[in-house]
Amino acid sequence: AGAVDLRELLAVSVLAAVRGGQEVKRVREGNVLNAKAKGKTREGAEEQLTSGDVLSNRRMFYLLKGAFPAVQINSEERVDTADQETVAWDRSIPEDIKQKIQPKEVPAESVTVWIDPLDATQEYTEDLRQYVTTMVCVAVNGKPVIGVIHKPFSSYTAWAMVDGGSNVKARASYNEKTPRIIVSRSHAGKVEQVARQTFGNKTVIIPAGGAGYKVLALLDVAEKNQEEADVYIHVTYIKKWDICAGNAVLRALGGHMTTLTGEEISYTGSDGNEGGLIASINMNHKALIEKLPDLEKTSHK
């Protein structure tokens, strides 16, 4: 199956996220979402599927597949083969990636690409545009090594490669006295109680949509539609394409994303992560986990 160059894979991942984002934005601005129910989440919330998801997915999937046919690609939406399109990649590598990243070859069979063509679909249907991202993640032997998070409505893109480089930094300072915890809009209340018990009454809870947005909140993002937080906590089952890119970016910058009990998440095999998650950067991650005795219990309810 041969080898693939991670620097090329990063370049095409950035392009895929941007191209997918263009579809997401076009559909939203034209107001032709054609939203329909895709089923229910485990918590019983309606899951929406819009033409933004579908068109972004098609664009992203075929761009990556055309550039790297030997690599396994896992995507949130099913790709309809009747809908196949050829999206050619000219193999050019953007200047900022060229300057920061060295070529690095890995065996094609060790690579799994995870794409999320539209993160925060619920918020997208509600026109809460700041939460929406498109994401690509490259895992090698199950470890996330390349992450791309793109915000289609502000054209902001964060990318990073483990042991490579990035175009984004961690934020410099955290206030341990009044930590800000970013959580899903749907379970802010559930996390709030535990967070206050754990970190004290001054804890600020920030409810937000989208896993991509929540990871960006931990970083130094030059973006006016982006809140800032110190810790990202998720207490229920979550899909790997939602979290892989953020996990890679955090790892590249020296941060951590683990299950609530501190286990690393493997990005091979099943597409779901059962153990909830906690993400932090520039903090003692282990100490955080030891402070969180009750969250693991709530994650299985």
- For residue range 127-149, list pLDDT tens digits in order: 999 999 999 999 999 999 999 99
- Token pair for 101: 């990243």
The binding site for Mg(2+) comprises 76, 116, 118-119, 242
Q: Which of 50, 53, 203, 236 is catalytic?
A: 53
Other beta carbons within 10 Å of 256: 19
Give the whole-number percent of the chain exceeding pLDDT 70.
90
Higher confidence at residue 41 or residue 47?
Answer: 47
pLDDT at position 176 over 80: no
Q: Which of 5-14, 42-51, 205-214 has the lowest mean pLDDT?
A: 42-51
Note the pLDDT of residue 301.
Answer: 44
Same domain, 243 and 276: yes
Same domain, 175 and 147: no
- Label residue 34 by pLDDT band (50, 70, 90): confident
Instruction: Find out whether 101 and 164 touch, Cβ atoms under 8 Å.
Output: yes
Per-residue b/e over 125-148, b at no fewer than 16 CB within 10 Å? beebbbbbbbbbbbbbeebbbbbb
Beta carbons within 8 Å of 172's beta carbon, 6+ residues apart: 220, 282
Note the pLDDT of residue 300.
Answer: 47
Same domain, 86 and 226: no
pLDDT at position 64 over 70: yes
Give the pTM: 0.93
Which sign, positive or negative, has the C-alpha torsion 5, 108, 76, 169? negative
* Rounded average pLDDT over 257-280: 94
* Rounded average pLDDT over 30-47: 66
Catalytic (active site) residue 236: no
- The DSSP line for 129-158 is GGG-EEEEEEEETTEEEEEEEEETTTTEEE
pLDDT at position 83 over 70: no
**What is the pLDDT of the chain when averaged over all its residues?**
89
Same domain, 13 and 158: yes
Note the pLDDT of residue 40.
Answer: 64
**For the ranges 71-80, 86-95, 145-154, the one whose mean pLDDT is highest:** 145-154
Q: How far, in Å, are 168, 210, 252 from residue 264 at the CA level?
A: 23, 21, 15
Q: Which of 41, 83, 86, 121 is catalytic?
A: 121
pLDDT at position 1 over 90: no
Note the pLDDT of residue 295.
Answer: 59
Note the pLDDT of residue 92.
Answer: 93
Instruction: Find out whether 235 and 144 touch, Cβ atoms under 8 Å.
Output: no
Same domain, 92 and 106: yes
- Cα 118-119-124 angle, rounded to 5 deg: 75
Same domain, 8 and 124: yes
pLDDT at position 33 over 90: no
Catalytic (active site) residue 294: no
Same domain, 218 and 154: no
pLDDT at position 296 over 60: no
pLDDT at position 297 over 90: no
- Token pair for 58: 């098609």
pLDDT at position 111 over 80: yes
pLDDT at position 82 over 70: no
Note the pLDDT of residue 293.
Answer: 64
Same domain, 160 and 185: no
What CATH number has the domain bearing residue 260? Answer: 3.40.190.80
Give the whole-number percent of the chain exceeding pLDDT 90.
66
Count of domains observed in the chain: 2
Same domain, 16 and 161: yes
- Token pair for 3: 């080898």
Same domain, 146 and 240: no
Note the pLDDT of residue 173.
Answer: 72
* Rounded average pLDDT over 72-84: 77
Residue-range definition of the domain harbouring residue 124 = 3-166
Q: Which residue has the tokens 């918590």?
A: 43
Domain limit, last residue, from 109, 133, 166: 166
pLDDT at position 166 over 80: yes
* Rounded average pLDDT over 39-45: 60
Q: Which of 144-148, 232-236, 254-258 has the lowest mean pLDDT?
A: 232-236
